[in-house]
Structure formats: structure tokens, C-alpha cells
A and B are shown apart, each in its own frame.
Chain A
């Protein structure tokens, strides 16, 4: 045990004197958690402060223009900036091309009037039979269209989100206008029909007036709730998604200092000396693994503290971790062992520090991308979703998000823990076998 503890102590000493290595291990994941959480906080609008700026030009200045503006502002999905009434399509296009706005919406002049006429005509048509169709003016022109300009850099998801919001606003406005027109037209039409049927002596105004407010009343609504195992949960914040994701990413980055330590020992000659000492190679490797597992736990702890204490100070939600603390610890230790195993394997297979420092980070970034650290797995194409099932970072992230946001338990994350430990055992065994071959050819 003394030799094992001596090796752990030596590894920790070496690591804490490598300032660049410490920066990579602690500052990088911390910065990623803070920055990505803040960025996504705006995208997800959990703070209600959207960063999407919309240029809104109301040339209509009537009901529809005002309704669009009110509803877009109320949606909170975009930041509405009102442009001059005189602004035309060309001026709006230029403003977007300058990158000032992500979207531009122009409500054309006379839109409300044209739509009103159109709606009234539709309702009147409904009350007239084909024989007296001449009584309805069917020659009305189509109402002018609403024009939406996009910044070409705006991604498809955001574009679709804003278009959906606009469609919703249009539908609501249309319903309201139809309700108003209905309320105005129906009593007159009813009187006319009754007089036709009953004779001119039938008194007017017997048909009750209709309050146009009925059109605004919503009958159907969606209640969006998160399905957790223990019942319905609150919406997971960006912090809850990013803390486990980037903490795992940082943990797997230990492959660089860990693999690099083996390369340095080999190139510097200390490995040769170590190989002549009365110490089994398993103790030398286990000492490295345990030292770096400790570092991983420390990393994770630091990131958790950032999520719990720092992020709320920056305006985001506080990190909620669920209640399965023991299982969370088990997942983190399993992920740390998997990362250490990979680092050992990389260190014994690579022949130069450059190989470790190039291949290590690239492979981790790929595994992170596949594992859903950067983009959720459900948003990937089917083939990539299949491939993502083989990413150790994906296993770790699935388990942690399950515990953090879906009220997962030891039983629900057992497969991920098993995958991580199998990966750790496989890479460590392969690394140990190669290390022994390095000792005695």
C-alpha cells in the first residue's frame, strides 16, 4: 500500500505543479459551464430576455398592425424594435444585411381594411344562396401579404420558431377579426332573412346583438410539463443540462495530462528506472489511475459548486441535482475510471507527447459531440443517434441527466454505470498489457 500511496502522492504533486495542465482541467470546464449556460439561458428564454432582435415596421397602423406588435412583444420569444412607418422592404433588407436584426417584419399599408372587407364578404356569402349571389361583392382583391425578412445566418430552428410564433399571431388576429365581422353582420342578415320569411311587417332588431369578445376567448390550451419518473417536474434549466455535460467533458480531458505523464516518464528516462524497481506495473498504473480519479472528483465538485452558487449570481436558475446523491457519486466515479482508463491506454499506445496532446482532445471532442454534450442526441440524425450509443461521455451524460432531471434511480442508471465500468476495465487491461510489454519485450 505504501508504494501505491507514494505513486498517488507523486502524481498529484506533479499535476499540481503543472499550471497549464491545471488550467485545462479546471478552468476550461468551469468556463464552458458558465458561458454555455448563459448563452443557452437566453436561447431557452428562461430569463425572459431574448437576444433575437426583430425589426417591426407597422405601415398598417390599424388593428392588425397593433395586434401583431402587442402579441409579438407579449410572447417574449423576440425583442421587438419598432422601425419607422416609412420604412420599405428595401430599407428593412439593408438593416438585416448589416446584422442589426435577425428578423424584419413589415405589416403592409391597408392590411386591416382589406382583411376586414374580405372577412365580411366571406360571412355575407355564407348567408346568401346562389340565387341572390349578386347581392355580395365577390370582386374584392386579395389582402396584401405580411413580409418577413431573415438574416441568412439565422439557423433553421430559430427561423422555424419565429415563423411559428407569427403564424400563431396571424391565426389569433384572423379569428378576432372574423368574430368582430360575425358580430356585426349576423344580426342584420338574420333580420333580413326573417323579414323575407315572415313578411315586411316583421319588426327589425329582434335578433339579439352578439358581443365580438367571444372570438378572443380561448377554448383549448396546452399545458407543457416535464415527464419525470416520480411525477411531473419543473422545466430543467440550462444549468442542469450544462453542468453534468461539461463536467464530464472536463473529466475526460484528463487523458492529456495522464497519457502525457506516461510519455514524459518514457521520454525522460524515469520509466526505465521505475521498471527496474521492485514494484509491479499494476501498482504504478493503479497509482496513476487513482490520482487522476481524485482529480476528476475534485473537478466535478468544483463544477457543481459553480452550478449551485455562482450561476444563480449570474442570473440563471440554481443547479438542482435530484435526490440520489449516492448514485450520482457512483456515476461520477465510474466516469472518472473510464476517463483514466482511456488516458492510460492513450499514454502507452502513443509514442510522443504531441500524439497524446493532439489525438486525446480530438477524440474527446468527437465522443462529446456524439454523446450529446454539445447537441442533444434526440436532435441528431438516426444514424448518429445509433453511433452515439457507443460514446462513454454519452453514457455518463445520460446517467447524470436522468438523475438530475428525470428523478432517476440507481436501477435506471445501472446500464450506464455498467457500460462505463466495462469501458474502464477494458481500457485499463489493454493499457496494463501494453505497459507490461513495454517493461519486458
Chain B
């Protein structure tokens, strides 16, 4: 079997109902992400994307179902399971009064890196996101794009097999967005690596995702490559058309 197509993430029959909610946020969804893939999880607000990402990244325990990352259940074996992935949250999850290097060093140590390896990975990640010249500046002084790039870099410090990206390009300029997308494509090409990507930008998903799933009301409505999905649905010129057809034009909360 091609190692680039071996399953990196397998989520089966995930169910979740929040104590405050009447309806389930997830209704038995299945997701498989293979190595070498960027898997796009698309859906309107409140569709269940963040709940799914939270469960798969072990932030939230499901009511039912299972998750394995590279064969490891992160709920049963948190230390091993969590070292296999990195999360790029929607928020800028950095300490604003620390410099970029101080942030990288702290999170790197928590990932278990140390000594020269840590120094090397910090240098590499700074280079990847183009922040070498600003390494000793506090994050609070950065522009939105620079913060997003640093936010991404922290998640790849420990060179994880799987990366969860929750809308990593929200609110940034075209240059920063282009840089992030190019980096994701470069990471995808690395052996044994995979990503789950959520976004509201359909053109982005078409540009970088190997496969996408459109989720709404806690259920996955359709899965496939962007090209296949557009071709299979008459009248849809692109993923945006298909998205609106499947999820409707009703405004969501």
C-alpha cells in the first residue's frame, strides 16, 4: 500500500450533544484522512465543523464513536496521541507579550523538544513563515498576517504527522494568505503528512484540498475531490455553487 495513502486519521460514528443544546451537534459522522491529503471540512456556521475538529483533536470527548491518529486513540493514550498532531486554532493562540521566539520555545518544550533540536526547529519554522527578522519582537506588535503565520508555525514546531487547521487564513492580506497556502501545499508533499482544513473560502478549498466534505446540521452531506463533486452535480460551476445547493441560502446563526 502506498504510504502516502495510508489512513492517518480515522474518525468513526462521532456523536455529540452539548448539555445546553437540544439537537445533536454531530450525528454519527465518519472522516478518514490519508497521508498526503489536505482534507477540507466545509460547512456554514453551526454546521458542526468546530465540534468535529475539537473531538478529533481531543479537546472534546464524543458521546459515541472513536478517533485514531496513526492508529493511536488520543483519549486513551493522550501523551502519544497528542504528539502526533498540531492544531492551528482560529484564534491567535500565542502570548502577545512574549516574543515569537519565546512563544516558539515554550510550545516547543511542551511538545517535548529540547536543546539543539529545539533551536533548529525554531529557526526552520521562523524561516517557513518568514519571521526570522522579527524573531525577537513581541507578538502584540505584529500585523494580523504576521500573527496568523506565527500561529501556524507553532503547530508545526514538532513536525507532526497531522495538522488541524481551523480557518487559518481569516482576516489577513492576500500576501500572507498566499504564503500560508503555499506552505500547506509544501507540507502536504512531505511523506506521511496530512491535514484537516476548515474554511469559509471555497476557492481556497478548491485550490489546496485533495478531498472535501460538506457538513451541515451535524451530518456529512457529501465527500469527494473538489473536481469530482463539481462534475457530479449538474449546474454547479464550482465548489461555492455546490455548497449553496447543499446547505441552502438560509442565513445561519
Contact = CB atoms under 8 A, between A and B. Distances in A.
Interface of A: 2-3, 6-7, 9-10, 13-14, 17-18, 268-270, 272-280, 439-441
B93 A270 contact: yes
A278 B93 contact: no
A10 B155 CA distance: 18
Interface in B107-125: 107, 109-112, 114
Contacts of A17: 97-98
A305 B42 CA distance: 61
B98 A13 contact: yes
A440 B61 contact: yes
B93 A272 contact: yes
6 contacts: A6-B105, A13-B97, A269-B92, A274-B110, A280-B78, A440-B75
Contacts of B111: 277-278
B30 interface: no
Given A2-B112, A272-B87, 9 more contacts: A2-B109, A10-B102, A268-B96, A272-B89, A273-B93, A276-B86, A278-B110, A441-B18, A441-B61
A440 B90 contact: no
B142 interface: no
Contacts of A7: 106, 110
Contacts of B90: 269
A9 B105 CA distance: 11
Given A2-B109, A269-B89, A441-B61, A278 B79 contact: yes
B13 to A, nearest CB: 19
Interface in B57-88: 57-61, 75, 78-83, 85-87
Nearest to A272: B89
B201 interface: no
A273 B90 CA distance: 10
A291 to B, nearest CB: 13
A272 B93 CA distance: 8
A276 B61 CA distance: 12
Contacts of B59: 272, 275-276, 439-440
B106 A273 contact: no
Contacts of A272: 59, 87, 89, 91, 93
A14 B138 CA distance: 11
Nearest to A261: B95
Closest 5 pairs (CB-CB, A-B): A269-B91, A6-B109, A273-B93, A269-B93, A278-B82
A153 to B, nearest CB: 46
A269 B106 CA distance: 15
Nearest to B90: A269
Contacts of B155: 273
A279 B81 CA distance: 11
Contacts of B85: 276
A278 B95 contact: no
Interface of B: 18-19, 57-61, 75, 78-83, 85-87, 89-98, 102, 105-107, 109-112, 114, 154-155
Contacts of A440: 58-61, 75
Contact of B112 (A10, A278, A441): A278
A268 B91 contact: yes
B82 A276 contact: yes
Given A13-B98, A439-B59, A277 B93 contact: no
Contact of B154 (A3, A273, A439, A441): A273
A390 B82 CA distance: 43
Given A3-B109, A441-B60, A277 B82 contact: yes
Given A272-B89, A276-B57, A3 B94 contact: no
B87 A2 contact: no
A276 B85 CA distance: 8
A331 B119 CA distance: 41
Nearest to B79: A278
Contacts of A276: 57-59, 82, 85-87
Contacts of A278: 78-83, 110-112
A18 B97 contact: yes
Contacts of B102: 10, 13
A270 B96 CA distance: 10
Contacts of B60: 440-441
B143 to A, nearest CB: 17
A408 to B, nearest CB: 42
Nearest to A277: B110
A7 B109 CA distance: 9
Contacts of A280: 78
A250 B59 CA distance: 36
B106 A6 contact: yes
A276 B98 CA distance: 20
Nearest to B164: A276
Nearest to B114: A2
Contact of A3 (B61, B80, B110): B110
A28 to B, nearest CB: 21
A13 B139 CA distance: 14
Contacts of B18: 441
Contacts of A9: 106
Contacts of B78: 278, 280
Contacts of A268: 91-93, 95-96
Nearest to B54: A272
A276 B96 CA distance: 20
B18 to A, nearest CB: 8
A13 B59 CA distance: 27
Contacts of A14: 95, 97-98
A132 to B, nearest CB: 99
A277 B58 contact: no
A441 B51 CA distance: 12
Contacts of A274: 110
**Residue from A2, A274, A277 with most neighbouring chain B CB atoms (10 Å):** A277
A440 B60 CA distance: 5
